[in-house]
Amino acid sequence: MKRLIALAALMLSTSWGAASSIPAGTHVTVRLGSTLSSGTAHAGETWRGTLARDLVSEGKTIARSGDEVTGRVTNAKSSGRLHAPGQLTLRLTSINGQPVTSSAYYRKGKSHTRSNATKIGGGAAAGAVIGAIAGGGKGAAIGTLAGGAAGTGVAAATGKEEAVIHAETVMTFTVTGSSAVPKKNR
């Protein structure tokens, strides 16, 4: 019985290393597990991914490529229709089960300006041409206003520019702190 206990203690001591933490300042490269969008994500929501590269500190591998990471959406703002593109902010919360804090990863949707100008300007130009054909100079002015209004309607109906981070996107975070927990030696 004593030999069995001694053998079990020896196995435990060799399979479990001392508690290690990920030093502040360590860069962590992560591959996102599923697509996130500012139109559907909510602050506080958890996301999952995997390490894209081994995590090495002082010559020791702390975690391997493919190990699980989790994070939290810290800001999710949906896009407006004619302005204010969507915004997403993410942070890491754990690497291979070890709690961490990290820098933020930020993504903003495309600007509405070019798209809106094209839709509104195109509508105004088309309205001017149609109005000029139908009613001459006065018709062109009325057509320009009507076409611009129609273009604004199209821009409002189709103008959302959400921030999207697609699945498999590689992101880099910087660890700002971590808690030491026992980890298996690798």
User: Are 128 and 95 part of one and the same domain?
Assistant: no
Residue 163 contacts residue 87 (beta carbons within 8 Å): yes
Residue 9 inside a domain? The answer is no
User: Are 97 and 127 part of one and the same domain?
Assistant: no
Domain of 106? 15-112+162-178
Q: Which of 3-7, 34-38, 96-100, 112-116 has the lowest mean pLDDT?
A: 112-116
Residue 3 inside a domain? The answer is no
Contacts of 78 (CB under 8 A, 6+ apart): 38, 39, 86, 160, 162
User: Are 79 and 126 part of one and the same domain?
Assistant: no
Tally of domains within the chain: 2
Write out pLDDT tens, residues 152-170: 454 445 457 899 999 999 9
Write out pLDDT tens, residues 39-86: 999 999 999 999 999 999 888 999 999 999 999 999 999 987 556 899
Residue 142 inside a domain? The answer is yes
Q: How far is CA 35 from CA 23, 47, 48, in A?
A: 29, 9, 10
